[in-house]
Amino acid sequence: MSQQHGARAGHWVIRLAVTAVALGGLIRSVVFAAEPAMWKAGVGRQVITPSEPMWMAGYASRDKPSEGAIHDLYVKALALESPQGERLVIVTSDLIGITASLSASVLEAANERFGLAPRSVLLNASHTHCGPEYRTYKIWVEALSDAEAAKIERYADALPGKFLDAITAAMADLRPAKLAWSQDSADFARNRRFPENGRFVNRQYDEGPVDHDVPVLRVTGADGKLRAVLFGYACHNTTLSFYRFCGDYAGFAQRAVEEAHPGAMALFMQGAAGDQNPYPRRELELAEQHGRTLAAAVERALAAEPTLLAGPLLTARADARLEFEPLPSRDVLLDQLRARGARDQRRAQYLLDVADGRIPLAMTYGCPVQVARFGDELLLVAIGGEVVVDYSIRLKYELAGPHVWVAGYSNDVFGYLPSRRVLLEGGYEGGESMRNGPLPGPFAPTVEERVVGTVRRLVDAISD
């Protein structure tokens, strides 16, 4: 290992020594040493598996619609009400991401029906690459047929209702509960930005930064029975790349936890996984294996003595205003239009239309940032975009006080959110991926400080 990479790994890499816990049976109740005031909690879910074959999200190499499913896809909601009456609804989904339009529709409906402010609703996507393509802006990238594009639009139109139905079920299910937090780790995630001949290629890089934490929020009823388990991990759901719908390792992990605890709902919240992949990969059996590994970490966390959450619950949300680098010159775009492949030609024509004013496009973008503080015990930070792991490592290091849980892929997954380091290094996560979406890109070098600064302002606002 070079001195440079050794220093980086020593500063960034989180590696927890895990003591194996022998579980004599299912965990059906939790005995608490203290008796904090009761929360209320409710859960709800909706199946979102497409009813017809349709284009799948995540891999540009796919050239045909789906061919069945391994298991159902879900949107799940966990509604929480603190002893002081504050509310937070966390909604997880087996989707490639959350679009700005989906988020806006769900937030508006949740506000109208339940009076929930945007700061009180958190939408997260697992980023499975074996889910349906529902982002209508992708049509211009993929150049799909009219029939396939129509399927995407029908599915996208139905999604907000599915989210609202899950939220409605969770709100109707609000009952006295206790909340507690614990943590373990899993080690199948690896950094995928492999340095090779001055470039960064998508390949396992064991010296790169990772975050192997598996944070767990447990919800138990007044009778002590486990009702819900919300857990996270920072890793792309890209074990699989075939043509069947599947939640990938996160889907298998949720199924394993629910099978171990009948009657409880398991929810997966994606972390800062932008530059993290599961290894090994590409086999269905490996997705199941990673799911079992993650579920075992959840079980160890459930078996450990938890940190009780007593409240108050404080939430805040704001957009970090991100800047883009200037568009390429007209000459560069014309060269790309003539010399590149079909996809890059469409991208070049799109940017020419932007430059000439035929398509309006702002040169800044609002990245949603949301925080929720559970008393002095836990701080949840949710950031939009495909957040690279540097953000999680930095925020856990810099935010003093309670335990810190960082979620990416939240509220608006507009594309990759690089740190300054990743941006300057370049590669797919650093800016190349923006050719697949409608943003001008790449971001300006201020991107990391804009996001972290927004997190800090929100944390300060709810800590006064």
pLDDT in tens, 149-207: 999 999 999 999 999 999 999 999 999 999 999 999 999 999 999 999 999 999 999 99
pLDDT at 348: 87
pLDDT at 26: 38
Position 61 confidence tier, pLDDT thresholds 50, 70, 90: confident
Please count the other Cβ atoms lying within 10 Å of the Cβ belonging to residue 8.
16
Domain of 148 in residue numbering reads as 3-311
Position 17 confidence tier, pLDDT thresholds 50, 70, 90: very low
* Tens of pLDDT, residues 309-347: 998 999 999 999 999 999 888 888 888 888 767 777 888
* pLDDT(141) > 60: no
* pLDDT(144) > 90: no
Q: Is residue 400 part of a domain?
A: no
More confident residue, 458 or 402: 458
Judgement on whether residues 204 and 344 belong to the same structural domain of the protein: no
Q: Is residue 258 part of a domain?
A: yes
Domain count, the chain: 2
Tell me, letter by letter, the H, E, C secondary structure of the chain: CCHHHHHHHHHHCECCCCCCCCCCCCCCCCCCCCCCCCEEEEEEEEECCCCCCCCECCCCCCCCCCCCECCCCEEEEEEEECCCCCEEEEEEECCCCCCHHHHHHHHHHHHHHHCCCHHHEEEEECCECCCECCCHHHHHHHCCCHHHHHHHHHHHHHHHHHHHHHHHHHHHCCEEEEEEEEEEECCCEEEEEEEECCEEEEEEECCCCCECEEEEEEEEECCCCEEEEEEEECCCECCCCCCCECCHHHHHHHHHHHHHCCCCEEEEEECCCCCEEECCCCCHHHHHHHHHHHHHHHHHHHHCCCEEECCCEEEEEEEEEEEECCCCCHHHHHHHHHHCCHHHHHHHHHHHHHHCCCCCCCCEEEEEEEEEEECCCEEEEEECCEECHHHHHHHHHHCCCCEEEEECCECCCCCEECCHHHHHHCCCCCCHHHHHCCCCCCECCCHHHHHHHHHHHHHHHCCC
Distance CA 37, CA 41 (A): 13
* Tens of pLDDT, residues 336-391: 888 767 777 888 888 899 888 898 888 999 999 999 999 999 999 999 999 999 99
* pLDDT(4) > 60: no
pLDDT at 402: 87
Q: Is residue 461 part of a domain?
A: no
Q: Is the peptide bond before 438 cis (omega within 30 degrees of 0)?
A: no
Judgement on whether residues 235 and 350 belong to the same structural domain of the protein: no
Q: Is residue 427 part of a domain?
A: no
Q: Is residue 407 part of a domain?
A: no
pLDDT at 445: 97
pLDDT at 138: 66
pLDDT at 16: 35
* Tens of pLDDT, residues 242-293: 999 999 999 999 999 999 999 999 999 999 999 999 999 999 999 999 999 9
Q: Is 399 within 8 Å of 111 (Cβ atoms)?
A: no
Position 33 confidence tier, pLDDT thresholds 50, 70, 90: very low
* pLDDT(88) > 80: yes
pLDDT at 373: 97
pLDDT at 18: 34
Position 15 confidence tier, pLDDT thresholds 50, 70, 90: very low
Q: Is residue 194 part of a domain?
A: yes
Judgement on whether residues 185 and 287 belong to the same structural domain of the protein: yes
Judgement on whether residues 257 and 352 belong to the same structural domain of the protein: no
* pLDDT(294) > 70: yes
Judgement on whether residues 10 and 55 belong to the same structural domain of the protein: yes
Distance CA 202, CA 316 (A): 35
Q: Is 92 within 8 Å of 66 (Cβ atoms)?
A: no
Judgement on whether residues 133 and 54 belong to the same structural domain of the protein: yes
* pLDDT(25) > 70: no
pLDDT at 423: 97
Judgement on whether residues 356 and 295 belong to the same structural domain of the protein: no
pLDDT at 36: 60
Judgement on whether residues 304 and 335 belong to the same structural domain of the protein: no
Judgement on whether residues 34 and 108 belong to the same structural domain of the protein: yes
Judgement on whether residues 267 and 342 belong to the same structural domain of the protein: no
Mean pLDDT to the nearest integer, 429-443: 87
Mean pLDDT to the nearest integer, 426-439: 89
* pLDDT(452) > 80: yes
Percentage of residues in the chain with pLDDT exceeding 90? 76
* pLDDT(11) > 70: no
Position 396 confidence tier, pLDDT thresholds 50, 70, 90: very high
Q: Is residue 292 part of a domain?
A: yes
Judgement on whether residues 95 and 210 belong to the same structural domain of the protein: yes
Judgement on whether residues 154 and 265 belong to the same structural domain of the protein: yes
Buried b (16+ CB within 10 A) or exposed e, 224-262: eebbbbbbbbbbbbbbbebeebbbbbbbbbbbbbeebbe
Q: Is residue 408 part of a domain?
A: no
* Whole-prediction pTM: 0.90
Mean pLDDT check: name the lowest of 37-51, 136-150, 194-208.
Answer: 136-150
Q: What is the mean pLDDT of the chain?
A: 90
Distance CA 337, CA 339 (A): 6
Position 102 confidence tier, pLDDT thresholds 50, 70, 90: very high
More confident residue, 402 or 229: 229
